[in-house]
Amino acid sequence: MAAPPLRTESLSIASGLSGYLAKPTGVPGIGVVVMMEAFGLNAFVKGVCERFARAGYMALAPDIYHGDTYAYTDREGAIARVGEVDDDVAMREVGASLDMLSAQGARDGRLAIIGFCMGGRLAFLANAVHGNRLAASVSFYGGGIAPAVPRGKRKPLVDRVPELSAPQLLIYGARDASIASDEHARIAKALSDANKRYTLAVLPDAPHAFATFDRDSYHAPAAEAAWRIAFAFFVDTFMQGAAAAYA
């Protein structure tokens, strides 16, 4: 089956907040907010939006760095910028992005969020803050959710687990040097103890950022497996089987 044609645009989401939108033409929208990793709203993040559009979803990536992007070689600059992200501001921007997807035609009960690294943590937090608006939340290697030792200004999020409303998917690499297996265990325990619906998948041989197709960390078998898991999760939570045809 041929994928539907895409429409993409950069647009204003709210005052001072822009973003990148990709959607299929003539297909009713399920809306997905895409939260970027530490390097900003770059080609990878736009590519994720377009992947969702090819699968029949609308996808909107808010530019929570407000114009700043960093080369993959500038890890120090990107990490410093992550430390400047305010959770409360980011959650307001997620809320504005959900509003925009609704304005673009996403139906009630047809909103979700996905994020990568920094964005994976923010997607998890959004499930606590905006979970009543979400059908699903997906975190690809979200760092800082349940670290043994907090890093910088980012607060661990395990204490927010009771507030989660939507089904939560967490995907990690077994060879991720920055997120060890003990963190997976703390997250799983908190979610199970709080009686939450979740899926936690760990992919062998995968390093951190294994899904970022234009980084040296890209691991194609893990990335392909992770996307199959993610789309299956969306199909299950949205009960939208046809959408998987373009994954």
- Strands 198-203 and 168-173, how do they pair? parallel
DSSP assignment string, 68-130? ----TT-HHHHHHHHTT--HHHHHHHHHHHHHHHHHTTPPTT-EEEEEETHHHHHHHHHHHHS
The continuous run of DSSP H or E covering 48 comes out as helix 43-54
Q: Minimal CA–CA distance to 183: which of 149, 217, 139?
A: 149
| Residue 217 CB coordination number (10 Å) | 16
- Choose, from 49, 63, 117, 184, the residue flagged as catalytic: 117
- 117 included as an active-site residue: yes
- Choose, from 49, 63, 176, 219, the residue flagged as catalytic: 176
- Choose, from 130, 184, 208, 219, the residue flagged as catalytic: 208
- 208 included as an active-site residue: yes
- 184 included as an active-site residue: no
Name the residues annotated as catalytic.
117, 176, 208
